[in-house]
Chain A
Amino acid sequence: QGQLQESGPGLVKPSQTLSLTCTVSNASINSDTFYWSWIRQPAGKGLEWIGRIQASGSTNYNPSLKSRVTISVDTSKNQFSLKVRSVTAADTAVYFCAKESDFWSSSLYDYYYYMDVWGKGTTVTVSS
């Protein structure tokens, strides 16, 4: 199944870059059947997907965040990372990383993904 652990600064100043890393254990980040996602959740609010990456480097991003976000992968360390540029208070949230596994949809006759393993989350506050 795997375990995921987020790490990074808990406090970032406005206009700076938020950087987080997700360390994957008991699963190979190199597998082409997985994607690796970042999701965030402001206090008291819902989940917002940020983006994802596969070991090959293939990425997808939330259209609303795409201009400020970069997700990268380090297969040698079994880690993937998130950078959010030019942060504001609106970027204050709990940030989760998650593993996506593929499955065959018997109704849609194609492969899809779901998020089957999540990290515990890390709180990032944007404040001067």
Chain B
Amino acid sequence: SYVLTQPPSVSVAPGQTARITCGGSYIGSKSVHWYQQRPGQAPMLVVYDDTDRPSGIPERFSGLNSGNTATLTISRVEAADEADYYCQVWDSDHWVFGGGTKVTVL
């Protein structure tokens, strides 16, 4: 079955840039979505179809997808960005989530 690999954690200082990777075989040929989950809350879509943002999501959130790696970039990180982030793809007939990355704002 298809596997998405994320780093368990990323630490970043306020105002700096956080990059979260999502590795998968030929993931560049798939449509990748990213979800943010703050503690005690439901996940929220922050990037869909590799690069697009839903309405209301700041431009600080951006995505890329190529080859075997998709990347979520958070620019000018704020304290409110501290959360778990999950990548997701559709693989033939089912959804697959990555294991999640905890972003800590120092």
Contacts and interface: CB of A to CB of B under 8 A. Distances in A.
Interface of A: 37, 46-49, 52, 60-64, 96, 103, 105-108, 112-116, 118-121
B1 A63 contact: yes
Contacts of A121: 42
Interface of B: 1, 29-31, 33, 35, 37, 41-45, 48-50, 54, 84, 86, 88, 90, 93-100
A46 B37 CA distance: 10
A106 B49 CA distance: 9
Q: Which of B1, B35, B37, B94 has the most CB of A within 10 A?
A: B94
7 contacts: A46-B84, A49-B96, A64-B1, A103-B49, A115-B45, A116-B45, A120-B41
Contact of B45 (A60, A114, A119): A114
A103 B48 contact: yes
Nearest to A65: B94
